[in-house]
Amino acid sequence: EFMNEIKGLSVLEKQIKDKLNIEKVIVVPGNSDHFEWVKQEMGKACVSFLQSVIDSKDIIAVTGGTTMAAVANVMNPLDKTNNYLFVPARGGIGEKVENQANTIVAEMARKAGVNYRLLYAPDPLSESAYQTIINEPSINETLQYIRGATVVLHGIGDAMTMAKRRKTPENVEEELLLRRAITEAFGYYFDAMGNVVYKVRTVGIQLEDLNTIDHVVTIAGGQSKGKAIASYFKQGKSNLLITDEAAAKEILKG
Ligand code: G3H
């Protein structure tokens, strides 16, 4: 029974890899829409992957969300040198504090026994505030680390779910509907073809930065995110997708 289950998952991994054209896919059993432990299983897969690649001087940039919080929950030391660093990929985002990148980064660093830097910037930012803030020394210092990130861990959200959770202004919500936004990641909203249809002004990792980062790890599961994941991978750059069985099956239906 157990061996059949494992075999089933590796078949799913291969099918997702081919369908979405991703270097590496890991599928864990279950549906994270219903069970929190499924997010932690994705987290454990992420920690094992990091243990195989992290070196001294690596900088790991992390986004927010409940999935990333679950990864933090199961974080462990990644390398003997203890000389790598966690940084948030972006500022605060109208989310509960436990879902914000800063909180998650501090928890990951504590569990891994290494240092971290925080980013005290609101998100979204107005254009004028943006120009002032990026020149603020304490913020600029963290931004330098973020620009040097060698690893990115990020979540993917269903566009309208994320817009609501982050208390997005009504006119922006209408625009997202009009432009048929399906996915949100890094403050970017994408349509079904993977085109960027809206972008929140943020300090931190920008989509084009992903092209030069060694390891981009996407962690997202649950049947409800199937379409969002498929749309993100139309154009999104990621080396590894860690997902669950329910999302994988939903992706293959589409
Ligand atoms: O950008 C995507 C969201 O951070 C995903 O949030 O992990 O709580 O679904 P979630």
- How far apart are the CA of 70 and the centre of ligand 1, in A? 11
Number of residues that this document lists for the chain: 254
On whether the CB atoms of residues 189 and 181 are closer than 8 A, the answer is yes
On whether the CB atoms of residues 64 and 99 are closer than 8 A, the answer is yes
At residue 129 the predicted structure's pLDDT band, cuts being 50, 70 and 90, is confident
Residue nearest to atom 6 of ligand 1 (CA): 65
- How far apart are the CA of 159 and the centre of ligand 1, in A? 10
For the stretch 153-182, pLDDT in tens is 999 999 999 999 988 899 999 999 999 999
For the stretch 27-75, pLDDT in tens is 999 999 999 999 999 999 999 999 999 999 999 999 999 999 999 999 9
167: alpha, beta or left, given left = phi > 0 and alpha = psi -120 to 50? left
Answer whether the bond into residue 169 is a cis peptide, omega within 30°.
Answer: no
Residues with CB under 6 A from ligand 1: 63-67, 155-157, 162, 184-185
What stretches of 108-191 adopt beta strand conformation (E)? 115-116, 151-154, 157-158, 183-185, 188-190
For the stretch 212-224, pLDDT in tens is 999 999 999 999 9
Tell me which H or E stretch contains 217.
Answer: strand 215-219
At residue 1 the predicted structure's pLDDT band, cuts being 50, 70 and 90, is low
d(CA 77, CA 114): 8
Distances from the Cα of 26 to the Cα of 14, 40, 87, 129, angstroms: 9, 14, 24, 40
Partners of 158 in the beta sheet?
183
- Residue 6 pLDDT exceeds 80: no
Can you give the pLDDT at residue 102? Answer: 95
Q: What is the number of the ligand 1 atom nearest to the C-alpha of 70?
A: 7
Report which of residues 169 and 4 the model is more confident about: 169
d(CA 194, CA 230): 9
Minimum mean pLDDT range among 80-89, 91-100, 222-231, 239-248: 91-100
- How far apart are the CA of 2 and the centre of ligand 1, in A? 30
On whether the CB atoms of residues 88 and 119 are closer than 8 A, the answer is yes
d(CA 196, CA 4): 40
Minimum mean pLDDT range among 58-62, 81-85, 228-232: 81-85
ipTM confidence score: 0.97
pTM of the model: 0.95
Residue nearest to atom 4 of ligand 1 (CA): 65
Report which of residues 82 and 25 the model is more confident about: 25
d(CA 105, CA 214): 19
Can you give the pLDDT at residue 162? Answer: 93
- Residue 8 pLDDT exceeds 90: no
Residue located via tokens 């969300």:
65
